[in-house]
Amino acid sequence: MIDITMPALSPTMETGTLSKWLVKIGDAVKSGDVLAEIETDKATMEVESIDEGVVAELVVAAGTEGVPVGQVILRLGAEGEAVVAKAAPALALVAPVVAEVPVAPVVNASPSPGSAAPSPTSPPRGEVDGARVVASPLARRIAQLQGVDLTTLSGSGPNGRIVRADVEAALTSPRRGEVGLGKAEPGEGPAKPAAPAPAPAAPAPAAPFTTDIPHTAEKLGNVRKVIARRLTEAKQTVPHFYLTNDVRIDALLKLRGELNAALEPRKIKLSVNDMVIKALALALRQCPKANVSFAGDQLISYTRADISVAVAAPNGLITPIIVGADAKPLSVIASEMQALATKAREGKLQPHEYQGGTASVSNLGMYGIKQFDAVINPPQGMILAVGAGEKRPYVVGDALAIATVMTVTGSFDHRAIDGADGAELMAAFKALIEAPLGLVA
């Protein structure tokens, strides 16, 4: 039998959702055939078989969330091997897989004198199912180490599953020392010494959110969960500092119009954002001290500017990358950005198209946002937040005039980039935008 496991489809992926099976039991598959659709922390992707055989068992049901990387999801019968096909369970109750602890059969089930028989309506302890006790792997390990009999416990987890808190509650209970927990039966030798006190239990989970306000609730998908975790880590662990500049873009808009007229026969249309990407890439090349990443006891300095661009997709924010933007013509950047944005919104980006990058651009100008501060995308050292271009009073030379001005704010990782180096980058970016022929030279 050949096991197919949940693959790691991105460096940050720890679990995935098995969205849909594309094969059924009895199907013959060969290497390269698509088996399933997996929702990762970034996108929904197809998983291909790396072996040949006949689908013998769908171990994980379609729609199961939180399947750990490395867990078996499908089994193939090798050629010539006798196969007993098994379907996936209709519903996956928990993930990872529930541990099942064998229980010795009961010879005499009648209650001992003085003991109360269990009520037929009360939930069975540990969700005993025939000769099995359903418990989480961690609860089982703790029980084995501490000598706790799982058949004496009632589970508080989903569907009566015994979890870590149930075992730890038994360890700290005043009744510790009863049958199954270390007390000797009459006629036996002295009781075994009590096990050492367990480590302090984890903090109790926060109470469920409640409100009287009419509302709807939607379960978070993998992408939104990862966004929440990574942004929290970024704000808690990366010391941000911010630098803001007002940039006049009249010359840029004029050049954009001329370039679009020239590119019209090729059906290429430049956006302001395409020119911003190019300007940031060139500025990073001019100011290499800002094109860096903090890596513990190392400072990583890049010799190429790969620009991640924030795109709002239905499942959440994702940042496809323009690789080597400093060396690419504006027409190529525009074509690549249009293709990547379409794939991002359709959830079809491949890992190499969104993993990496040396710096990021987040542009909310199309929504009329004047200025904002963006959160750094680790391990990158900076991100540029771009606001809307708007007509404002502006000093041109010694005179006050009306100009089209765009406010940009750089967020910098102070562990890797000093204030003066960040300021140098912002000045270089401003110069390229205000004298935009440098973008096509």
The single residue of 215, 240, 352, 414 carrying the catalytic annotation is 414
β-strands 359-363, 382-396 pairing: parallel
CB atoms within 10 A of CB 252: 23
Residue 202 CB contacts under 8 Å (≥ 6 apart), including other chains: 164
- The SS3 assignment for 66 reads strand
Question: Rounded to whole angstroms, how far apart are CA atoms 425 and 441?
Answer: 19
**DSSP H or E stretch at residue 143:** helix 137-146
Strand order in the sheet with 321-322: 240-248, 399-413, 382-396, 359-363, 307-309, 321-322
Exposed (0-12), middle (13-18) or buried (19+): which is 257, by Cβ within 10 Å? exposed
First to last CA, the chain: 61
CB 347 within 8 A of CB 313: yes
Residue 408 CB contacts under 8 Å (≥ 6 apart), including other chains: 244, 245, 247, 384, 385, 386, 387, 426, 429, 430
Q: Is the peptide bond before 329 cis (omega within 30 degrees of 0)?
A: no
Q: What is the DSSP letter of 365?
A: G
CB 223 within 8 A of CB 315: yes
Q: Which residue has the tokens 């940050």?
A: 12
For the chain, the maximum distance between any two Cα atoms, rounded to a whole number of angstroms, is 104
| Residues β-bridged to residue 86 | 57
- The SS3 assignment for 250 reads helix
Based on the residue annotation, tell me whether 352 is a catalytic residue of this protein.
no
Q: Which amino acid is at 58?
A: L
CB 320 within 8 A of CB 311: yes
Active site residues: 414
